[in-house]
Amino acid sequence: MEQLNNVIFYTIDKSIRTYRQYAQRQLKNAGYSITIDQWLVIKTLLENPDIKQQELGEKIFKDNASVTRIIELLVRAKYLKRRNNTEDRRRTGLEVTEKGKETIADVHKIVLKNRSVALEGISKTELETVKKVLMKITKNCQDD
């Protein structure tokens, strides 16, 4: 049986988890209480203002219960506010508040620095190759 360190998917997962831990530490060190997942929710809502919660979960790779918890925390922290849907009263929309927009703008600078540190010494060609390979893996796993 092969060693975990020789399994490419273990290495990919380890890299992602290590990066997320690093990124979270950088946010905390800069004085932000927002998590990476909360940042992803706000950023996705800014890019897709009318997105449904299920679609939001798919975009950030979270189940519905996790998305609900994250949204509730963001509403309580005043990064998001709920708005009524004029066409369907059963649905509510989410809107990023000014506080949320300002935080995302501030945190964006940290995110760019995090990426720069993580990708140090990796050429553009190497990054393109990695992206192509990962996209092929994704496609292979989506084809049934």
How do the domains of the chain map onto residue ranges? 4-142
Q: Which of 93, 107, 85, 123 is nearest to 40 (CA)?
A: 107
CATH fold, domain 4-142, is Arc Repressor Mutant, subunit A (1.10.10)
Tell me how far CA of residue 112 lies from CA of 11, 108, 115, in angstroms: 23, 6, 5
Question: What phi and psi values does residue 94 have, to the nearest 5 degrees?
Answer: -120, 140
pLDDT of 87 above 80: no
Q: Express each pLDDT in 93-133 by its tens digit.
A: 899 999 999 999 999 999 999 999 999 999 999 999 999 99
pLDDT of 90 above 70: no
pTM over 0.75: yes
